[in-house]
Structure 1
Amino acid sequence: MNEATPQQPKKILVVSAHPEPRSLNASLAAFAVDELRAAGHEVEVSDLYAMKWKATVDADDFPDHVADRRLHVMATSERETLAGRLSPDVAAEQEKVRRADAVILQFPLWWFSAPAILKGWIDRVFTAGFGYGPAVPPPYSGGALAGRRALVSVTAGARESSLSDRGIHGRLTDVLHPLQHGLFFFTGMEPLEPFAVYASNDLPEDRFAAAKRAYGRRLDGLFTDEPVPFRSLVGGDYDHDMRLLPGVEAPGTSGPDLHVRPRG
């Protein structure tokens, strides 16, 4: 990391989701951990495959749930979260998120989304009463996890041009919108522009070295780079039905870009 711009020590959670410990994703996760620790930060790691993380929400997440009662996931998760009665693995991950000043998700892009094990981490950890719901601050306007930075580091087998504005796969920012806006910003975290390594299935050593240099620069800016300027729900841009007011956006803006304030 850039020693010319020292940062105050922070606490960072790296969540890694790849089944192969010798994979590019594992190497990038390890690189991030080493770089951040070398800069004086405290880093925790959740390697979901190594942890054998259970990916499905079910009644086992709520040990006090009565077996013959219908499971209302949102209501039950909120009640058990606020009472401190979640399963130990979920409670431990929530504590990691609470301690963190920043959360980094490292994963391969599989079928235009995160691996199921990472989606399951999100489903189980971000319970009502923890990440959302009436007992915590409202979404898209601070939220339950305000004050934390968030960074997606993703690998894609596709070439960069195919994940662009006219690329056949669509823009990477649109593919990642459910995470960037629907998870991070919804819960109050400040998402940075994602870091991506493209054409990653056969990455020669020189491109891997270049990717690490680029990633190192992004890690340098984890707490100083400007986050994606998503519109706040309470900033006057939306009506009472949570619809963007007409004419707020620049002419020609459409899709997920509607919910991003113009830069500069």
Structure 2
Amino acid sequence: MTSHILIIQGHPDAAGNHYGHALAQAYREGALEGGHPVEILTVAELDFPILRTQAEWNRGELTPDIQKAQAAITRADHLVLIYPLWLGSMPALLKGFLEQTLRPGFAVGHQDKSGLYAKQLKGKSARIVVTMGMPAFIYRWFFRAHSLKSLERNILKFCGIRPIRESLIGMVEGSAAHREKWLAKMRKLGRSGL
């Protein structure tokens, strides 16, 4: 079964020469080999302001780039978010993009009288790919992957996206063999659409 895949490249440097960009390209190549339609959304190339008030989040104007991003998310069955771990979390630009994009009326229904939001992105799945300099097991076990859990629970699941799978890639500045192993794994995951 084929899935329409949207790769969200969350590295804030638009130069495109980082390991995360290579991981996105490997996933894309695998997905195309597997017969999956693929789009790539590069957050660093998008134009949008940072939200500063609840009113902006609830009903603020959408830039053309955010409208296009929402349309790409709507088309997708599976989202792949790729970003480097910065100061223990996702880069601020990616967080700002998610705040702009996953708003009431699109990702969640407007708050009802009980204070709940309807999950409007049900039926979509996701993979989160996080690169880091430290060993991944230290991030997962010592730091308890706090920012990853927040992204999963408080953002993606809040919108109805599930299942959510993870690929934590540590020691990215280590050996070339280690990086090649992960590129091969991304191609394999792309082929299967996971």
- TM bucket (normalised to shorter chain) is 0.7 to 0.9
Paired residue type of 2:100: R
The answer for the alignment partner of 1:238 in structure 2 is none
Between 154-163 and 36-45, report the one with greater CA deviation: 154-163
The count of corresponding residues between Structure 1 and Structure 2 is 189
Matched with 2:50 is 56
| Aligned partner (choices 96, 111, 134) of residue 158 of structure 1 | 134
**Corresponding position: 1:179 with 2:179:** no
**Consecutive unaligned residues in structure 1, runs of 5 or more:** 1-7, 59-69, 81-85, 224-264
Tell me which residue corresponds to 2:3.
Answer: 10
The counterpart of 1:31, out of the listed 4, 11, 26, is 26
Given that 2:108 and 2:121 are in contact with CA atoms closer than 8 Å, whether structure 1 keeps it comes out as no
Q: How far apart in 2 are the matches of 1:209 and 1:75?
A: 43
TM-score, structure 2 as length reference = 0.86
Aligned counterparts, 1:204-219, within 5 A:
204-219=175-190
The structure with the largest alpha-carbon Rg is: 1
Query: 1-side partners of 2:189 and 2:33: how far apart?
Result: 15
- Residue 55 to residue 33, structure 1, CA distance change in 2 (3 Å): farther
- Post-superposition Cα deviations, 1:46-96, rounded to whole Å, max 9, x if no partner, equal 1122x24335136xxxxxxxxxxx98224424xx6xxxxx33221111100
**Aligned-partner Cα distance in 2 for 1:91–1:160:** 35
Q: Which residue of 2 aligns with 1:194?
A: 166
Q: Aligned partners of 1:131 and 1:125: how far apart in 2?
A: 8
Letter in 1 for 2:9: S
Where structure 2 has 5 or more consecutive residues not aligned to the other structure, the ranges are none
- Report the counterpart of residue 99 of structure 2 in structure 1: 123
Counterpart CA distance in 2 for 1:71 and 1:182 is: 17
Match status 1:143 vs 2:126: no
Partner of residue 39 from structure 2, selected from 32, 36, 44: 44
In percent, how many aligned pairs have the same letter? 22
Equivalent pair of 1:108/1:154 in contact (CA under 8 Å): yes
- Report deviation, 1:192: 2.4
- Give the structure with the larger helix fraction: 2
**CA 1:53–1:75 in structure 2 vs 1: closer, same or farther (change >3 Å)?**
closer
Give the SS at the match of 1:45: strand
Structure with more relative contact order (C-alpha pairs < 8 Å, separation 6 or more): 2
- The residue that corresponds to 2:82 in the other structure is 106
TM-score, length-scaled by structure 1: 0.65
CA distance in 2, matches of 1:53, 1:149: 26
Q: Does residue 73 in structure 1 map to residue 56 in structure 2?
A: yes
RMSD after superposition: 2.4
After superposition, give the CA deviation of every residue in 1:16-59 in whole Å (9 maximum; x if it has no partner).
Answer: 0221412101100111111111111111111122x24335136x
2:185 maps to amino acid: A
